[in-house]
Amino acid sequence: MRILLVNPPHPAIGSRIPKELLPPLGLLYVGGALIDAGHDVELLNADFDPMPVDEILQDILAFEPEAVLFGHSGSTSAHPVICEITRGLRRRGCAAFIIYGGVFPTYHWQDILAAEPQIDLIVRGEGEETAPRLIAALAEETSLDALPGIAFRRGGIPYATPAAPMIADLDACRIGWELIDHADYSYWGGKRAVVIQFSRGCPHLCNYCGQRGFWTRWRHRDPSRLAAEMARLHRQEGVEVFNFADENPSASRKAWQALLEAVIAENIKVTLVASTRADDIVRDADILHLYKQAGFERFLLGMENTDEATLKLIRKGATADTDRRAIQLLRQHGILSMATWVVGFEDETDRGLWNGLKRFLSYDPDQIQTLYVTPHRWTPYFRIAAGRRVIQTDRSRWDYKHQVLAAGSVPPWRLFLWVKFIEVVAQTRPRALKRLLRPDPSLRHGVRWYYRMGRRVWFHEIRNFLFRDRHIADGPTLAEFWGMPQDREEEAMMTRKAAMKRGLEPVGEVG
pLDDT at residue number 213:
82
Confidence of residue 207 (pLDDT cuts 50, 70, 90): confident
pLDDT at residue number 320:
81
State the Cα–Cα distance between residues 405 and 373, nearest whole angstrom.
Answer: 8
pLDDT at residue number 161:
96
List the end-to-end C-alpha distance of the chain, in Å, as a whole number.
30
pLDDT in tens, 190-203: 999 999 999 999 88
pLDDT in tens, 338-393: 998 889 887 888 998 998 899 889 999 999 999 999 999 999 999 999 999 999 99
What is the rounded average pLDDT of the residues 90-99? 98
| Domains, in order of start, for the chain | 2-160 (3.40.50.280)
pLDDT at residue number 103:
94
pLDDT in tens, 305-325: 666 677 676 666 667 888 999
State the Cα–Cα distance between residues 126 and 149, nearest whole angstrom.
Answer: 8
Phi and psi torsions of 98, nearest 5°: -105, 120
pLDDT at residue number 163:
93
State the Cα–Cα distance between residues 418 and 168, nearest whole angstrom.
Answer: 45
DSSP-assigned letter for residue 349: -
pLDDT in tens, 419-444: 999 999 999 999 999 988 888 898 89
Q: Which of 216, 221, 264, 363 is nearest to 304 (CA)?
A: 363
pLDDT at residue number 347:
82
Tell me if residue 450 falls in helix, strand or coil: helix
pLDDT in tens, 239-269: 999 999 999 999 999 999 999 999 999 999 9
